[in-house]
Structure 1
Amino acid sequence: MTRPVRIALIVVLLVLLFLIRAYEMDLFYDPLIVYFQNDYLYKTMPEIDTWHLVVDMLFRYTLNSLITIAIIYLLFKKKKHVKFTGSLLMIAFMILIFVFVLQLRDEFRSGYLFPFYVRRFIIQPLFLLLLLPAFYYQKLRNS
């Protein structure tokens, strides 16, 4: 694959990440988007269908993860990076969703900041932002 094609594919994948973010209200069930945008410290929690929320978060996380893996593969062309990223993303989701559901069942009584950021790690491709510099640094050290 030539370099211009790889760059074009990476741009397309980044645009897909932006589109997922732009149309999140239409694509996914997440009443917490509006809740955390407003005065969540003074309002009560909205009615939440936990099962529906978890399934949609899994769907969104899967989309973001597949795009993340594709970007990392296109940038570094190493299967070990892809395997590591896939493993990290699977383990991270299992831990994060477990913690988030516990916090959700508790209705965020222990505070809003921690579940807000756990949810942020689930719904946003933050692992891409963490892994890209790490893999790049590793590439620089090895060369």
Structure 2
Amino acid sequence: MKKIVLVLVVVFLFLILVAMRYFQQHLFYDPLLLFFEKDYLNSGSLPQLDIFKMLFSISIRFWINSIISICILKLLFRENELLKILILIYGVLFGLLIITFYFLIAQYQVSFELPLFYVRRFLIQPMLLLILLPAFYYQKLRSN
């Protein structure tokens, strides 16, 4: 019974992540969504945007994804020190990525389009969950 509840909670958390992605245009301010959907490599310039509103929106989105991801990892692996490690990993990664993202937007050049795309992608999607889930699973297998 306990495992069934655990699986249902983890599935529910994954569904929240999917719903955030599906409703992203309605939930978050991100003028780069349409920019990267179109032929951005030939556009030459970024769309009109409010950089601080965008940084705030992307930060909120990152931390919502992070909290859900941390909950998933903590529920699945139940390690005592895991929470501290995950908060440190997500905090450091956020600091590095948001500074890089701001630099790429503020000093925008056409050559920054792909780095901007990937840094933004790491900030708005739960990519770290996709990396850490198999890593922690492999670590758990090795320790058993």
In the other structure, the counterpart of 1:83 is: 84
Deviation, structure 1 residue 57: 0.5
TM-score, normalised via structure 1 length: 0.96
Runs of 4+ residues over 2 Å off in structure 1 = 108-111
- Structure 2: unaligned runs, 5 residues or longer: none
Identical residues among aligned pairs (%): 39
SS in 1 for 2:41: coil
In the other structure, the counterpart of 2:24 is: 24
8 A contact 2:29–2:54 mirrored in 1 = yes
8 A contact 1:108–1:115 mirrored in 2 = no
In the other structure, the counterpart of 1:5 is: 5
Report the residue type matching 2:4 in the other structure. Answer: P
TM-score, normalised via structure 2 length: 0.95
Equivalences for residues 82-101 of structure 1 within 5 A? 82-101=83-102
> After superposition, what is the alpha-carbon deviation per residue over 1:103-134, rounded to whole angstroms, capped at 9, x for unaligned?
00112433311111011000000000000111
Matches of 2:84 and 2:47, distance apart in 1: 38
Report the residue type matching 1:83 in the other structure. Answer: K
In the other structure, the counterpart of 2:113 is: 112
- Structure 1: unaligned runs, 5 residues or longer: none
- CA, structure 1 residues 95+47, in 2 after alignment: closer, same or farther (shift >3 Å)? same
Matches of 2:133 and 2:139, distance apart in 1: 10
> After superposition, what is the alpha-carbon deviation per residue over 1:9-60, rounded to whole angstroms, capped at 9, x for unaligned?
0000000000000000000000001000001122231111010000000110
8 A contact 2:104–2:112 mirrored in 1 = no
**Number of residue-to-residue matches in the alignment:** 143
Report the residue type matching 1:28 in the other structure. Answer: F
8 A contact 1:64–1:124 mirrored in 2 = yes
Task: Note the aligned Cα RMSD (angstroms).
Answer: 1.2
Matches of 1:118 and 1:93, distance apart in 2: 10
- CA, structure 1 residues 9+108, in 2 after alignment: closer, same or farther (shift >3 Å)? farther
